[in-house]
Structure 1
Amino acid sequence: MHRILIVDDEPLIGQGLSSLLASSGIGIEALYVAHNGYEALDYIRMEEIDLLITDIQMGAMSGIELMHQAKLVRPWIQTIVISAHETFQYAQLAMRLGAKDYLIKPLDGAQLLDSVRNVLLKLEKRLKTQEEGMETLHERFRMSEPSDHGTELLNRLLAESYDASAGVAAQLDKLGVQLAGPYFAVLKLRLQLQSPDRPITDRDSRLLRYGALNIAAELLESDQGSIVFYSGDAELSIIMQWDEEAYENAPAAESKLNRLDMFGRSLHRSVKRYLGLASIVGISQIVQGLEQLPLLNGQAVQALRWSERHPDHDVFYYGDFHEDLYTKEEPSEDELRAQHNRIAERSKAYIDEHFAQKGLTLHEVAQHNHVSPNYLSYLFKKTIGMNLWEYVMKLRMEESRRLLLETDMRRYEIAERVGYESPEHFSKIFKKYYGVSPSELKK
């Protein structure tokens, strides 16, 4: 059963699509309808949305911007785009962000239902991998395993010096593996194949590693030129690369560091969801030059080592741990705790000041603190005791309750004051939070 969010600034279209899906017989657990991007983000933050169906042109936040922000919150969310414009540029942007389909208004109901079924069917097939066991891995994942020679060369490229890199790259080029760059990053996935309550045979370990390789390759479909390969019995390496145009012309909301963070989180979640395996992900910085791959490899390995200090965290970006404090020597537990507290308190102070701002995002708060959104989420919850968006909502709800009880402001004025786009959406959030509507509380 799946959760679907429909976003369109024309209420009749939103309700019409909701009614069509509700009567379709597709296995849908819940349907939500939002009338703008801000409302949609609230649903995405609060609910486990599997599929987003969004219009492109919608007032203050376009469907493209909504896709950017939705991916930052839940990188694994699936998207179908609907548009009144058969514009190549829109379609290209949507597909680059991972849209599974691009449908033109006026919508053909049968075409929409086919598209939704296809997206949900793929999700269900992946889940069957875990449910049906090891024997289905080679059936579900049909990608060829990389050649032993190619894998050996790629691992040499990560380990050897500048003088050797050009020669190894030339050999890889003959095998059809091109590393033109000139911008590169390295990610490491370390699988927890053995556990006390789950003994795994050598054969099953190989199959699970193969499944993880294919999951990574599927997630990298939209990143042309990225390469995934084995780097040990329980470890995969991923080289991501961008040419000058792709690197320089990416929209601000789709920064390459955001892309790495989203991919790392998606990879970790997919391995857990579809293979039932715990794992950790280490992410390097982005550097120019093929000769820098050994440096990037070392950064990804170091990022993995931080799991020893943070066993309750799973995805580690090297840059989060290497500000001024980390450049000389590894910090003590007290220094580390003090830095965590500073980041969390600075974030809390920023939210205290800006919680009523429309369109406030985790990405904005993370940028203010010079850390990745993923790491900030982890630190905030660990230090403050609730996740960042729960804290934003708490402030908004407490302020709106105060305004309802102590002033004569109308509902739409209060909604505007605490950062909501519409009074109707504000009322939904308020009732979910307090159990009564604003008007019931006022009485």
Structure 2
Amino acid sequence: MYNILIVDDEPLICRGLASLLNASGLNIEHIYTAHNGYEALDYLRMENIDLLVTDIQMGSMSGIELMQQAKIIKPWVQVIIISAHETFQYAQLAIRLGAKDYLIKPLNSEQFLGSVRHVLLHMDRPVRDQDQLMSDLQEHFHMAVPNQKRTELMNRLLAENTENRESIVSELSLLHNVSFAGPYYAIVKIRLDLASGGRHVTDKDGILLQYAVLNIANELLDREWDHQAFYSTEQEVSIVIQWDETRYGDSSVDKINQLEMIGRSLHFNIHKFLGFQCVVGISHILKGHAFLGELSKQANKAMLWHREHKDHHVFYYGDFKWGVLSEEEPTDEEMAAQNNLIVERASEYIHQNYAQKGLTLNEVAQKNHVSPNYLSYLFKKNTGFNLWEYVIKLRMEESKRLIQNSDLRRYEIAERVGYESPEHFSKIFKKYFGISPSEMKK
């Protein structure tokens, strides 16, 4: 069963769409409604949302901004955008960020339900039995082996000490129709952990699984990303992602966050469909294909951190502080001190700003110069709290104090602890304490 979140600043539209969905016969467990982006983010953080349906223009946070934040929290959430404006730029950006559809108001009921139906029916369930998995892979993947010469050239291009990189780029372009116009590049590497599936995997099955990983990567990236995916070593797939000047210059999208979304989506889908864990390493972004060897080395180094963090699977090179001159790994003591400092500073920032409307994980991460993904992991590991659960805990404790020790009205308390809507504040309060603010006051 599916959970759907509808977001629109017009309550009548929320109620109308919810009513349509309730009468649709779709396998829906719960429909949540929110009237601005900040309310929607609370639902995304606290509930298991499968599909987000959001208006694109909603006051202080647009649907595009909400979608970006949603994808940071849960990259696998499916999104349908609705808009009163048939603007190509908005539609293009929404699709680039992974929206499944872009619908124009006034909505046609059948068109809307058809779009939701299409998204939900394509949210495939994972294969549970491994023998069935291998049988399905053999049936669906006919092992059209990737061009070996192309694969060899791609790996030579990523080798650290390659001297004739220009000639390799030319050969790939002329003989294999692979363009490296760039000029901006990043590398994502995926290493499949065959020991995590709980059974022995034959060499033949290993090759089949690597091919499946390559297909999952291409399926996720083909529509909106200029990329090349290929085998790099046994059980490993490399992806070169490139941007031209125009797309890289688009400041409305944080490129590192996008790369992390890709990494987390790859990990999620590989585990979901194949039943195996994988480790994903993500490089910096550099300008010029002369740096592809350096980017490859960075992605490899990022994956090394899985040895220290067995319960984490997506690693961005920039999150780890290497030696300034030697680029040596820090010692365990240095790493622990660095991680403790990140969590300490994040906690301090949250304590100072938890009542700020619109506080986001992205903002806290930026203040600490780490990615949202790594900050979330470290915060949970060091404190036992999910980062946003901690924000809500501080907000609820302060609101309880104000209810018990002041004569402030509900809307005033909501305002003081960071909520725009008194109604939304009451919902969060009741979910947290089990009683409403008025019941606590009594």
2:24 equivalent in structure 1: 24
The residue aligned with 2:133 is 133
The aligned counterpart of 2:45 is 45
Note the C-alpha offset of 1:194.
3.2
User: 1: distance between equivalents of 2:272 and 2:223?
Assistant: 21
Amino acid at match of 1:26: L
The 1:66/1:5 distance shift into structure 2, 3 A limit, reads: same
Amino acid at match of 1:367: Q
Instruction: Please give the TM-score of this superposition, normalised by the length of structure 2.
Output: 0.95
| Counterpart in the other structure of 2:395 | 396
Letter in 2 for 1:118: H
Q: Secondary structure at the match of 2:163?
A: helix
- The aligned residue for residue 161 of structure 1 is 161
Aligned equivalents of 1:41, 1:14: Cα separation in 2: 16
Q: In the superposition, relative to structure 1, how do residues 198 and 233 fare at CA in structure 2: closer, same or farther (>3 Å)? A: same
Give CA-to-partner distance per residue, 1:147-169, whole Å, 9 cap, x none: 11111110111115353111111
The 1:327–1:352 alpha-carbon spacing in structure 2 relative to 1, beyond 3 Å, is farther
Q: Give me the whole-angstrom Cα distance separating, in 2, the residues matched to 1:123 and 1:110.
A: 20
Q: Could you tell me which residue of structure 1 aligns to residue 362 of structure 2?
A: 363
**Equivalent residue, structure 1, for 2:68:** 68
Higher mean displacement: 155-164 or 420-429:
155-164
Residue in structure 2 matched with residue 12 of structure 1 by the alignment: 12
Letter in 2 for 1:346: R
- 2:184 equivalent in structure 1: 183
Q: Tell me which amino acid in the other structure corresponds to 1:293.
A: L
Deviations along 1:397-436, one digit per CA (max 9) or x if unpaired, are 0001111111111111111110111011001100000000
- Which residue pairs with 2:115 in the alignment? 115
Shift, 1:19, TM fit = 1.3
> Paired residue for 1:226?
227
Distance 2:154 2:401 in 1: 61
| Residues 166-218 of structure 1: per-residue CA shift (max 9 Å, x gap) | 11111111211111111111111000123583112223222221221111112
- What secondary structure is seen at the aligned counterpart in 2 of 1:123? coil
Query: Superposition pairs for residues 85-104 of structure 1, below 5 Å?
Result: 85-104=85-104
- Structure 2: runs of 5+ lacking an equivalent: none
The offset of 1:142, in angstroms, is 8.0
Tell me the SS of whatever aligns to 1:239: strand
Q: Secondary structure at the match of 2:164?
A: helix
Q: Do 1:52 and 1:80's aligned partners in 2 also have CA atoms closer than 8 Å?
A: yes
Cα distance in 2 for partners of 1:46, 1:3 equals 12
* Most deviating of 146-155 and 315-324: 315-324
Deviation at 1:77, TM superposition (A): 1.2
The structural deviation recorded for 1:138 is 5.6
Query: Which residue is 1:305 aligned to?
Result: 304
The 3-state SS of whatever aligns with 1:16 is: helix
Instruction: Return the letter of the residue paired with 1:189.
Output: I
Q: How far did 1:130 drift? A: 6.8
Q: 1:250-399 alignment to 2 at 5 Å?
A: 250-251=251-252, 254-322=253-321, 329-399=328-398
Amino acid at match of 2:309: H
| AA matched with 1:272 | H
Distance change >3 Å, CA 430–CA 196, structure 1 → 2: closer
Alignment of 1:171-210 (within 5 A): 171-174=171-174, 175-195=176-196, 197-210=198-211
The root-mean-square deviation of aligned C-alpha atoms, in Å, is 1.8
Whether the aligned pair in 2 keeps the contact of 1:162 and 1:291 (CA below 8 Å) is: no
Evaluate the alpha carbon distance shift between residue 247 and residue 109 of structure 1 in structure 2; reply closer, same or farther with a 3 A threshold: same
* Partner amino acid, structure 2, of 1:356: A
Could you tell me the TM-score, scaled by structure 1's length? 0.95
SS at match of 1:180: coil
**Conservation of the 8 A alpha-carbon contact between 2:143 and 2:211:** no
Task: Show CA shifts across 1:80-103 (max 9, x none).
Answer: 111111122221221111111111
Residues 351 and 392, structure 1, Cα contact 8 Å, conserved in 2: yes
Does the 8 A contact of 2:231 with 2:238 survive in 1? yes
- The structure-2 alpha-carbon separation of the partners of 1:340 and 1:348, relative to structure 1 and needing over 3 Å to count, comes to same
Deviation at 1:144, TM superposition (A): 5.3
Specify the SS of the correspondent of 2:195: coil
Whole-Å separation in 2 of the counterparts to 1:143 and 1:227: 18
- The unaligned stretches of length 5 or more in structure 1 are none
Map Cα deviations across residues 90-147 of structure 1 (whole Å, 9 max, x no partner). Answer: 21221111111111111111111110111111112x6358784222236556895521
User: Aligned equivalents of 1:72 and 1:345: distance in 2?
Assistant: 22
Residues 162 and 292, structure 1, Cα contact 8 Å, conserved in 2 = no
Residues 141, 352 of structure 1: alpha-carbon distance in 2 compared, 3 angstrom cutoff: farther
Identity within the alignment, % = 60
Shift of residue 329, structure 1, vs aligned partner: 3.3
The answer to whether the 8 A contact 1:98-1:222 is kept is: no
The runs of at least 4 consecutive aligned structure 1 residues that moved more than 4 Å come to 128-132, 138-145, 323-328
Report the AA paired with residue 399 of structure 2: S
SS at match of 1:214: helix
Is this contact kept in 1: 2:143–2:208, CA < 8 A?
no
